Amino acid sequence: MRLAVLGAGAIGPAAAVLAVSRGHSAILWSPSGAGIAGLNGTLRAEGVIAGDFHLDATTDLAEAFDGADAALLAVPAYAYAAVLPRIAAALPPDLPVLVAPAASLAPVVLDALVARRGMPDRAPVGALATTPGGARRLGPDRVRVAMLRKAVEVASVPASAAPRLAALATDLFGFDAPLSPDALHVSLLNANPIAHAVLVLTNVTRIERAEEWAQYAAMTPFACNLMLALEKERDALAAAYGHKLESIAIVLARANPVAPGPLAAMTAAIAAKRPEVLGPRTTDTRYVTEDVPFGLAYYLAIAAAKGIAMPATDGMVRMLELLWGRDLRANPMLDEIDLADLPRLLRDGVGRR
């Protein structure tokens, strides 16, 4: 297949390399052009995927979509508000899009934006719980693929198209794709907002001083207590919408060489095996700029629509807002949809026939 990868930071190029390694072709779209500057048709991959891979690149969405069989949106959640309207305006009606990760109901928002063009018969939008793997950009034409996920849950807008998009994701990226009931369920599965918020709160002075610190070693028993309190509220939110979530422990076990167990014991075991995984060293970290507004604060917005209290989560957001001295709740994407009508939107999509 021909894959249009929308986003040229680290995750997008790594996903493109993965798809090409599996016999597909890919083109990278960079919203600003910065991510493809110096990329002259070949990207060198290191790590769990190694070699030189041919990739086309463009800043023109029409060119990216031309001849594509599927698209993968792989940009940080804080870029969605700027990028989703551009994609919606250019998206061909028959082109399925996989959103990874499906944070803050981005697949539903994209569906609503495309619906304004008056296309009731159009391809579904896929919702992935997380990205196909982890990666770091080493240079204009180099990417390090640190790890590939064995399984990623997949949902769809409308919800009934999930089997089709799960098969598509498996064909492109090779991971198992357990079906998720809807895009809300998928958006709540990602444990990063909880783990990352606790890490930045408990290591804020290290981050301010740009110190080097091992991330998993910082997930101490007391830090894990706070993660579990936030997880309990998230799980109650999911239950209010009829969903049951896998634990953070299960999610960690999928991505790391440890067996599920008590969270603090797991993080200690991961720390021993992966001491090279470091926490952020700058206050301008996605652990705050992405995982709080489009993770924890998003949970609060969804909870408010059901009249559900999440005091620990609200307190965490408030503490981080005080520490960072900024509003961490603004989420213009949610203004595009009616949260009171969320169950129907998740099931049927927006303006579809």
The CATH number linked to 107 is 3.40.50.720
Which residue, among 132, 236, 107, has the nearest Cα to 182 in the 3D structure?
107
Write the CATH number for 338: 1.10.1040.10
Judge if 21 and 124 occupy the same domain: yes
Judge if 166 and 200 occupy the same domain: no
Average pLDDT of the segment spanning 185-196: 93
Judge if 234 and 145 occupy the same domain: no
Judge if 159 and 241 occupy the same domain: no
Answer left, alpha or beta for residue 285, where phi above 0 means left and psi between -120 and 50 means alpha.
Answer: beta
Q: How many CB atoms lie within 10 A of CB 303?
A: 20
Helix, strand, or coil here: 254? helix
The domain boundary residue, chosen from 154, 169, 188: 188
Contact of 13 with 55, CB cutoff 8 Å:
yes
Query: pLDDT tens digit string along 333-342?
Result: 898 999 999 9
Query: pLDDT tens digit string along 268-315?
Result: 999 998 898 899 999 999 999 999 999 999 999 999 999 999 999 999
What is the span of the domain harbouring residue 175?
Answer: 2-188
With respect to residue 140, please indicate whether it lies within any of the assigned structural domains: yes
User: Mean pLDDT of all residues in the chain?
Assistant: 94
- In angstroms, rounded to a whole number, what is the distance separating the alpha carbons of residues 165 and 179? 9
- In angstroms, rounded to a whole number, what is the distance separating the alpha carbons of residues 260 and 250? 6
Count the alpha carbons within 13 Å of 48 in the hemisphere toward its beta carbon.
Answer: 14
Judge if 137 and 217 occupy the same domain: no
For the chain, the domain total comes to: 2
With respect to residue 353, please indicate whether it lies within any of the assigned structural domains: no
pLDDT exceeds cutoff 90 at 26: yes
Judge if 184 and 201 occupy the same domain: no
With respect to residue 306, please indicate whether it lies within any of the assigned structural domains: yes
With respect to residue 319, please indicate whether it lies within any of the assigned structural domains: yes
Q: How many CB atoms lie within 10 A of CB 155?
A: 29
With respect to residue 226, please indicate whether it lies within any of the assigned structural domains: yes
Contact of 45 with 143, CB cutoff 8 Å:
yes
Query: What is the pTM for the complete model shown?
Result: 0.91
Could you tell me how many helices (H) and strands (E) the chain has, helices first? 15, 11
Judge if 140 and 225 occupy the same domain: no
Order the strands of the 51-54 sheet from edge to edge.
Answer: 51-54, 42-47, 142-148, 133-139
- In angstroms, rounded to a whole number, what is the distance separating the alpha carbons of residues 350 and 347? 9
Judge if 95 and 195 occupy the same domain: no
> 125-128 and 154-157: which strand pairing?
antiparallel
The domain boundary residue, chosen from 160, 188, 216: 188
Residue in this structure with the two tokens 């769990």, named with its chain if needed: 48
Helices 311-324 and 221-240: crossing angle in degrees, nearest 10, is: 120
What is the reported pLDDT for 250? Answer: 87
Query: pLDDT tens digit string along 221-277?
Result: 999 999 999 999 999 999 999 999 989 998 888 778 888 899 999 999 999 988 988
Judge if 174 and 280 occupy the same domain: no
Residue 252: both structure tokens together: 């960690």
3-state helix, strand, coil in the chain (%, to 5): 50, 15, 35
Which residue, among 84, 163, 179, 126, has the nearest Cα to 349 in the 3D structure?
126
The domain boundary residue, chosen from 150, 171, 188: 188
With respect to residue 172, please indicate whether it lies within any of the assigned structural domains: yes
Judge if 119 and 183 occupy the same domain: yes
- In angstroms, rounded to a whole number, what is the distance separating the alpha carbons of residues 193 and 310? 15
Judge if 205 and 284 occupy the same domain: yes
What is the reported pLDDT for 252? Answer: 85
Judge if 179 and 51 occupy the same domain: yes
With respect to residue 127, please indicate whether it lies within any of the assigned structural domains: yes
